[in-house]
Amino acid sequence: MGNSRFLGCWQDKHGRVGDGALVVTVVDDKIEKVVMIVFGGFESIHLGHRRLLSHVSGVNDAGVLTFEPLPKEALGYSESRVLTDDERLCAFESMGINQIIKLPFEKIKDLEPEAFLSRYLEDVQTIVVGENFRFGRNAVGDISLLKQWCQLKRKNLIVEPLVSVDGEIVSTKAIKNYIHHGNMERAMKLLGYPYFIRGPRVHGNRIGSKIGVPTVNLHWSKQKTRPPYGVYDGFFLSNQWSGPALASFGKAPTFDRKDVLLEIYVPGINLNIGAGEIVLYGFHRFIREEKKFPDVTSLVQQIREDENDLAKDAPLIEAEMNQLLLLFSKACLLPSR
């Protein structure tokens, strides 16, 4: 079947493994010992993805079939993700999915649809896909062809309809567009959880501490879809403290900084987070654009106004933080060093 590895929720470049027993397998031939497969890219695990994934959640001998890299990335159509691969594995693990099967896209991209099905899915009894599912060379395979093949092979086929929110079809493309434009509230509606960034804390120049606004800083991962520069309210998660927080994303023009950082500020709390410790910031809404202030006093005065916005949104933010932790295990998102 291919090479298997046991992961907890995720495995990073240092080989650290979280809790659990999620099996991730890379295959280059027939899929064996899996009777039910749900098929898709699952880049963002949005509301539509979760409907598909519910069919294999907690089911033995069932799993997720996906690609590595994702087709849009391999073809140069996409350079960022809503969720990194590690974060997807965290969600799969928390949903009770036992197996993730990855197909190397370079090896399957030129297969005709019938050849693809016969090569990989001959022993799978039930296939679950969304109604817009395409496969095979140049994505010429569609639901009609898949249905004919399943009937011929006496297999079960489950086709889930697309999910809509307020009349809009849920898609990763739409979610990325909302994130790019800073519409975090709409992105969250389609995702079913708040958009977030996670990574190791990095040291800044300590200007925040000097002006009474201590921050925890993150570099923005190139893998993650970028929102616009500006100030946001949302929540901070760490192994020490969790709750509502402000974040400034950009280059801090008041101080003419050159590098891009996400600076997280929790009013009233001076967090003692060590360099390299994994932390997370979840976005609730865009408050204002990044701005160059004439002096530090004007900047601090604006931050105090931002704190008022955060306080007003705090009940919603707390609810969204809990919503995230229903889908993603905190131990998986924030592994201890």
Reported as type and span, the H/E element at residue 309 is helix 296-327
Q: What is the pLDDT of residue 78?
A: 67
Q: What percentage of the chain exceeds 70 in pLDDT? A: 92
Question: Does residue 201 have a pLDDT over 50?
Answer: yes
Record the pTM.
0.89
Dig out the tokens for 244 from the structure: 């509502």
Question: Does residue 5 have a pLDDT over 60?
Answer: no
pLDDT band, very low/low/confident/very high, at 245 (cuts 50, 70, 90): very high
What is the residue extent of each domain of the chain? Answer: 3-165, 193-333
- What CATH fold (topology level) applies to the domain 3-165? Rossmann fold (3.40.50)
Residue pLDDT, tens place only, 125-172: 999 999 999 998 888 999 999 999 999 999 999 999 999 999 999 999
Q: What percentage of the chain exceeds 90 in pLDDT? A: 69
pLDDT band, very low/low/confident/very high, at 16 (cuts 50, 70, 90): very low
Q: How far is CA 61 from the centre of its chain?
A: 25
Q: What is the mean pLDDT of residues 101-113?
A: 87
CB of 129 closer than 8 Å to CB of 52? yes
Q: What is the pLDDT of residue 337?
A: 62
CB of 285 closer than 8 Å to CB of 221? no
Q: What is the pLDDT of residue 14?
A: 28
Q: What angle do CA 286, 214, 274 make, to 5 degrees?
A: 105
Q: What is the pLDDT of residue 72?
A: 72
Of 53, 43, 57, 32, the closest CA to residue 129 belongs to: 53
CB of 128 closer than 8 Å to CB of 39? yes
Question: Does residue 7 have a pLDDT over 60?
Answer: no
Q: What is the mean pLDDT of residues 311-334?
A: 96
Residue pLDDT, tens place only, 182-200: 999 999 999 999 999 999 9
Does the domain made of 193-333 have the CATH classification 2.40.30.30?
A: yes
CB of 231 closer than 8 Å to CB of 288? yes
Dig out the tokens for 181 from the structure: 């434009």
Domains 3-165 and 193-333 alike in fold: no
Of 268, 282, 274, 203, the closest CA to residue 239 belongs to: 274
182 CB-side CA count, 13 A: 14
